[in-house]
Structure 1
């Protein structure tokens, strides 16, 4: 796997570990501030955000497997799956929540896919 692809996969993985943490264990403190959730809504949104955070954790796990799995073919499959899911989720987030998600999630994931297959 090309080194540039590995760097991009690691970056996307780290972004999703951070998002996982913000949506789960840090939601009531840092996460709510980062996502612009009004204080009055933090408690009512905490469970849903935690659930959403777990999904981001699964994406990070797939990407991590793409980086460390010893069989190159399987590693590439995990990386492809993880990056593709992140790209689609980022598009959906940009359409339904805020456009900024497209740049935070989709752009790095698509660059990772390009690097994985074209470099």
Structure 2
């Protein structure tokens, strides 16, 4: 089970690195606009905000990878908890889909770590 938890934590980290790329570098490009349902005008107006958001996603990924490389489940649980809270907040304020994309994988990772 420990290996499954490591894989899930790594996948959540990779997901957040993907968010970093989408939000920091592709926000106003066709791929980014399609991913977030943006018009060119909306993308241009929110580009700086999205880059900041992408940076925070990078910090989440870095924390998860740091905890994984150290084998420190407390660090992993902390960052997975942050991801879970962000997923719940996103579901409540933007789209329920965010919980399934972001929050649920974090919750599964937490459950796997806690049941080791």
TM-score range, shorter chain: over 0.9
What TM-score, normalized by structure 1, do the two folds share?
Answer: 0.92
Q: Partners in 2 of 1:33 and 1:45 — Cα distance?
A: 15
Gaps (5+ residues) in structure 1? Answer: none
Q: Partners in 1 of 2:97 and 2:88 — Cα distance?
A: 10
Question: Could you tell me which residue of structure 2 aligns to residue 14 of structure 1?
Answer: 14
- Matched residue count: 115
Deviations 1:13-56 (A, max 9, x none): 01100001100011111212200011221111000000011110
* Match for residue 108 of structure 2 among 103, 108, 111: 111
Question: Could you tell me which residue of structure 2 aligns to residue 42 of structure 1?
Answer: 43
Gaps (5+ residues) in structure 2? Answer: none
Q: Deviation at 1:67? A: 1.1
